[in-house]
Amino acid sequence: MADLERMYIDGEWMLADGGATFDVKNPADGSIVAKVVNGAGPDIQRAVGAAHAAFREWSVLAPKDRGSILLRIQELMQERRDELARLVTLENGKPFEEAKKEVQFALGYFGWFAEEARRMSGEWIPSPQPGKRYWVLRQPIGPVAAVTPWNFPATMVTRKIAPALAAGCTVVLKPASATPLTALAIARITEVAGLPKGVFNVLTTNRSRLVGAELLTHPLIRKIGFTGSTDVGKGIMEAAAKQVTRLSFELGGNAPFIVFDDADFKAALEGAVAMKFLRVGGQSCICANRIYIQRGIAAEFIPAFVDAVGKLKVAPGFEPGAQIGPLINEETRAKVHSLVEDAVKHGAKLVAGGRYLTDDKYAKGFFYSPAVLTGVTDDMAVAQEEIFGPAAPLLIFDSEEEVIRRANATKFGLAAYFYTRDLARLVRVSEQLEYGLVGANDATGYTHEIPFGGFKESGLGREGGREGIAEYTEVKSVVVNLG
């Protein structure tokens, strides 16, 4: 019998109203990792009520004091890093070594925003009239509803709650139903760190329609922070229109990865393999989705890429040396495979992988052999859609102007990468890519210090950086009449 995990509301570990539960499964072997309580309507009301009640006291605490608690959370996450990483691998499937890196990165958001909380200063603006003064201040926006996906069970949570708590907001988090265990473990840490009750609540549920109807549109919720698919985001935006709830969205992507003839060959090759395959096996919103190779280098680059992909180790996450774990579920694996098959049907060539792995240790999990497709064209579904898995479409281009046009021809705008040794080109291309994150000779993604978010249908607002905390504040202008 698997453990029963309770949710955390108003400082208490609770069962769900009605007593329902759902299973969290290990995607590597289908085993049940835990049973988790399945929150219902009354639980949502209770969680929002708790966040509302806790808001006043938390919001007026000195930012430095809020920061001290966040630093303590960071410290405890550091102490329990491997324990948290173990949960990440169990519920998400990613290799344990990668999970450790995720948790290490995730905890850093508490440090960054603990410090930023102290810099939420306002302005004193000169008035054109004598006898008046203008005073502009930032105030925490109020109780926040945060909804997160399964691909980074730790980072997606801390990237939202650290800035919200630092700003003085309270939070009701609804983690992905595939990966609630890491979120609950983080809640336990916030409890030990002394975060007052009601400030951070974790509502576990797989009833996402109910979450849309009762949590996200609750009149006491002042802000929604959502990370997930563009389609779900659009539905939330429509629902939020009724009360003009503030929104921050981190949505889907379709990242171009461009290799110019004059690139540092080895760096571009390693970057492309890493950004395509080594972030949750391609299940990341910033993963390379279309790899554009300039014609002059293609004959050399493509075989080297295929060779490198052939050496990647697909294995259950706890197996030493594992580089690519299982996909999260069968639906995701089937979608990746159908995109590969569709490309082949339309004239692309499958030159590596691209099949279900089903023998022995793979038998009960959602494993897929890393695929490489050549002869891909922009109109194929594999280039148009977010693949979200271990398949690499390779495309050829001739000129800089052409590749920029093709790279930008998508409704998405989250991340883009390119490799060149020409400094003037590096500046030109960086400026012309319509993406929120551009890796110029770099494929390591974002950090705590920089704002991260998408152009176009990839999102609204920014997480991380100075901007990350501003998202959880309202700006107030006070007009002072000295009489």
Output the smallest distance, CB 256 to ligand NAP, in A: 15
Contact 118, 63 (CB under 8 A): yes
Whole-number Å distance between alpha carbons of 326 and 281: 8
Output the smallest distance, CB 284 to ligand NAP, in A: 7
Please give the residues from 150 up to 169 whose contact with ligand NAP meets the rule CB under 6 A: 150-151
When asked if residue 28 is in the footprint of ligand NAP (CB under 6 A), the reply is no
Say if strands 132-140 and 123-125 run parallel, antiparallel, or are unpaired: antiparallel
470 - beta bridge partners?
none
318: its two tokens: 């706890």
Whole-number Å distance between alpha carbons of 441 and 449: 19
375: its two tokens: 């002869």
Contact 411, 384 (CB under 8 A): no
Please give the residues from 446 up to 465 whose contact with ligand NAP meets the rule CB under 6 A: 454, 459
Where in the sequence numbering do the catalytic residues fall? Answer: 250, 285
Please give the residues from 377 up to 436 whose contact with ligand NAP meets the rule CB under 6 A: 386, 388, 414
> Edge to edge, what strands does the sheet with 4-5 contain?
4-5, 32-37, 21-25
Output the smallest distance, CB 51 to ligand NAP, in A: 17
123 - beta bridge partners?
136
Total residues at interface with ligand NAP (CB under 6 A): 29
Q: Per-residue x/- marks for ligand NAP, 219-248, CB under 6 A?
A: --------xxx--x--x-------------
Whole-number Å distance between alpha carbons of 276 and 12: 41
When asked if residue 366 is in the footprint of ligand NAP (CB under 6 A), the reply is no
335: its two tokens: 């979608």
477 - beta bridge partners?
136
Please give the residues from 40 up to 69 whose contact with ligand NAP meets the rule CB under 6 A: none
Q: With CB under 6 A as the contact rule, which of the stretches 30-38, 97-105, 249-257, 465-473 interacts with ligand NAP? A: 249-257
Q: Per-residue x/- marks for ligand NAP, 81-120, CB under 6 A?
A: ----------------------------------------
Q: For 39, how many CA atoms within 13 A lie in the half-sphere containing its CB?
A: 33
Output the smallest distance, CB 396 to ligand NAP, in A: 26
Q: Which of 32, 33, 38 is nearest to 6 (CA)?
A: 38
Q: With CB under 6 A as the contact rule, which of the stretches 8-16, 30-38, 53-61, 207-215 interacts with ligand NAP? A: 207-215
Which CB atom, from 168 or from 253, has the smaller least distance to ligand NAP?
Answer: 253
- Contact residues for ligand NAP, defined by CB under 6 A: 147-151, 174, 176-178, 206, 208-209, 211-212, 227-229, 232, 235, 250-253, 285, 386, 388, 414, 454, 459
